[in-house]
Amino acid sequence: MSTIDELNDMRTKALTEIAAAGDGASLETVRVAYLGKKGELTAILRGLGSLSAQERPIVGKTSNEVRQELEAALDGRRRDLEHVELEAKVSADAVDVTLPGRGRVPGREHLIEMITRQVVEVFIGLGYRIVEGPQVELDYYNFTALNHPPAHPARAATDTFYVRDLEAGDARTTGESDVLLRTHTSPVQVRVMENEEPPIYVLAPGKVFRRDIADPSHLPQFTQVEGLVVDEGITFGDLKGTLDYFCKEMFGHDRKTRFRPHFFPFTEPSAEVDVSCGICGGDGCRFCKYTGWLEILGCGMVDPNVFGYVDIDTERFSGFAFGMGVERIAALKYNIPDLRMLVEGDMRFLRQF
């Protein structure tokens, strides 16, 4: 049998074995058997020197052809096997995709802070700055400079928390004090007007305190947002336009507002602002007590007496102020059945917003 015949037989046999190799290891065995250092083809190539000069180039050429052919077949088979193995591995890695995922759960913002921030954002858009004031206040800022008469009932110790005054000697013994927990954010108005010249466009969010027993609709500590504008030519129409815009941003563009004349000591004219009920659309339902309206704001033009306390010229400047209770907005927007949930720190409640 000639060497060429030997080569051809070997090729046929090798290709068959390559095709039959079921995994990487047996394929390697086949490779070693033919192309390894001691492999059959290697042996033939090594034996080229002993061939005749006539036979040598033909056998050499054919050997190389066979070798290339086998290498290509080995590569092909290897790729096939790898593909099969990958497929098998991938299919073994399948998971139940309905199992819960894994992640660090971020915390939530408190509902009251979230609503406060939403209000703040609306007024920043209207060009307001955010200001704050002390929570422990003087009677002067909380009542007097806001045009409350000396005997105003809100001053009563049944309504307002008083704080021990460590400055005045006499007051300590009588237990009377003109230091108190602010009952509204309005004193910030006075502090701003004392310290700044108009134009003033400010919003003052913050905690306030009233001596109410905590129940589903009252908290002794709650949150207000106060707004104050003082500028030349400010009109009641500007107040209406501003709060119309706010209510639409806050409650939705399909909501209507209405202004009802009211009385507050530090604004005149004063109004309460209602927004149309979101549940019934204004037709009346249990939620809005069959009125179609929900009261959400108090407002008015800054009373000239208040300007008097801070030396602002009432002939040159006018202004408006407004205030809202954040807990009330929260209760209306999120249907909170009991305001006490807002201060209990129950994780199951806090995680909802």
The binding site for Zn ion (CB under 5 A) comprises: 277, 279-280, 285, 287-288
Of 16-24, 26-34, 96-104, 330-338: span binding other proteins (CB under 8 A): 96-104
Question: Please, are residues 15 and 70 in contact by the beta-carbon 8 Å criterion?
Answer: yes
CA 198, 202, 203: angle at the middle one, nearest 5?
Answer: 160
- Residue 337 makes contact with other proteins by CB under 8 A: no
Q: Which residues of 77-112 are buried (b: 16+ CB within 10 A; e: fewer)?
A: bbeebeeeeeeeeeeeeeeeeeeeeeeeeeeeebbb
Nearer to other proteins, 76 or 241 (CB): 241
Question: Please, are residues 319 and 231 in contact by the beta-carbon 8 Å criterion?
Answer: yes
Nearer to other proteins, 46 or 129 (CB): 129
- Residue 97 makes contact with other proteins by CB under 8 A: no
The minimum distance between CB 189 and other proteins, in angstroms, equals 16
- Residue 342 makes contact with other proteins by CB under 8 A: yes
- Residue 166 makes contact with other proteins by CB under 8 A: yes
Query: From the list other proteins, Zn ion, none, which binds 309 (C-beta under 5 to 8 Å, kind-based)?
Result: none
- Residue 216 makes contact with other proteins by CB under 8 A: no
- Residue 135 makes contact with other proteins by CB under 8 A: yes
Read off the tokens for 60: 């050499």
Question: Please, are residues 73 and 18 in contact by the beta-carbon 8 Å criterion?
Answer: yes
Number of residues that bind other proteins (CB under 8 A): 91
Query: From the list other proteins, Zn ion, none, which binds 234 (C-beta under 5 to 8 Å, kind-based)?
Result: other proteins
Query: From the list other proteins, Zn ion, none, which binds 288 (C-beta under 5 to 8 Å, kind-based)?
Result: Zn ion
Query: Using omega within 30 degrees of 0 as the cis cutoff, is the peptide bond preceding 269 cis?
Result: yes
Applying CB under 8 A, among 34, 143, 251, 259 the residue interacting with other proteins is 259
Q: What is the CA radius of gyration of the chain?
A: 43
- Residue 229 makes contact with other proteins by CB under 8 A: yes
- Residue 130 makes contact with other proteins by CB under 8 A: yes
Task: Residue 184: name the closest of 148, 213, 233, 149 by CA.
Answer: 148
Distance CA 187, CA 132 (A): 10
- Residue 280 makes contact with other proteins by CB under 8 A: no
Q: What's the longest Cα–Cα distance across the chain? A: 132
The minimum distance between CB 279 and Zn ion, in angstroms, equals 5
Distance CA 19, CA 190 (A): 93
The minimum distance between CB 14 and other proteins, in angstroms, equals 44
Question: Please, are residues 294 and 288 in contact by the beta-carbon 8 Å criterion?
Answer: yes
Nearer to Zn ion, 194 or 283 (CB): 283
Query: From the list other proteins, Zn ion, none, which binds 49 (C-beta under 5 to 8 Å, kind-based)?
Result: none
